[in-house]
Amino acid sequence: MKNRKLEFTTMVLVLAFTLAPIVLAGPQPGGGPTREPANDSVSPEGENRPVVTIYSTDNVTRGKTGSFVVDMKPAMAFGGLYVQYTVSGTAIPGVDYVAVVSPAYVGQSGYGSILIQTLPDPRASSSKQAYSVVITLEPGLGYWVGQPKSATMWIKPCSGCGPAIQ
């Protein structure tokens, strides 16, 4: 008897989730939607897609690893998503940090990270300049880019570090 109740409950839930988009798409008596879309995740064509944004966890000192966090709302219930990005800024890949390659993977949790591994400064020891790394999210299949769509991290000079040994 318990098995039949479980089967019936499962079928009702499947039916409810199947019909939910159809029921919400019908005309409303007031003429407008019953709820506001979260974080502008609905396109003018009515497509529901997650919205991705990005932020930097903080600036980083040379020789350390910094990170950018990609945030996806709402998180995907099954699987993840690859998000395209570009890298710019005053820092030079291969000189100031290990080059990173797009895309970034955003998992089921709704979060992904882009790690920036900094390198020792090969420039003259008199150079105590900070260099920027800017990650900008690019549009792609299956998601919208929200605000902020770019984030900046500064690579700060290491105080007390000597020149890089080649």
Q: Which CATH number covers residue 55?
A: 2.60.40.2030
Whether residue 29 is contained in a domain is answered as no
Whether residue 113 is contained in a domain is answered as yes
Whether residue 32 is contained in a domain is answered as no
Beta strand 51-56 with 65-73: parallel, antiparallel or unpaired?
Answer: antiparallel
Whether residue 19 is contained in a domain is answered as no
Whether residue 139 has pLDDT greater than 60: yes
Whether residue 105 has pLDDT greater than 80: yes
Whether residue 8 is contained in a domain is answered as no
Per-residue confidence band for 127, with pLDDT thresholds at 50, 70 and 90: low
Number of neighbouring beta carbons within 10 Å of residue 51: 19
Whether residue 149 is contained in a domain is answered as yes
Domain count for the chain, please give it: 1
Average pLDDT over residues 88-109: 94
Give the domain range for residue 62: 49-156
Number of neighbouring beta carbons within 10 Å of residue 143: 20
Whether residue 120 is contained in a domain is answered as yes
Number of neighbouring beta carbons within 10 Å of residue 89: 18
CA-CA distance, 166 to 52, in Å (whole number)?
40
At residue 27, the pLDDT reads 44
Whether residue 119 is contained in a domain is answered as yes
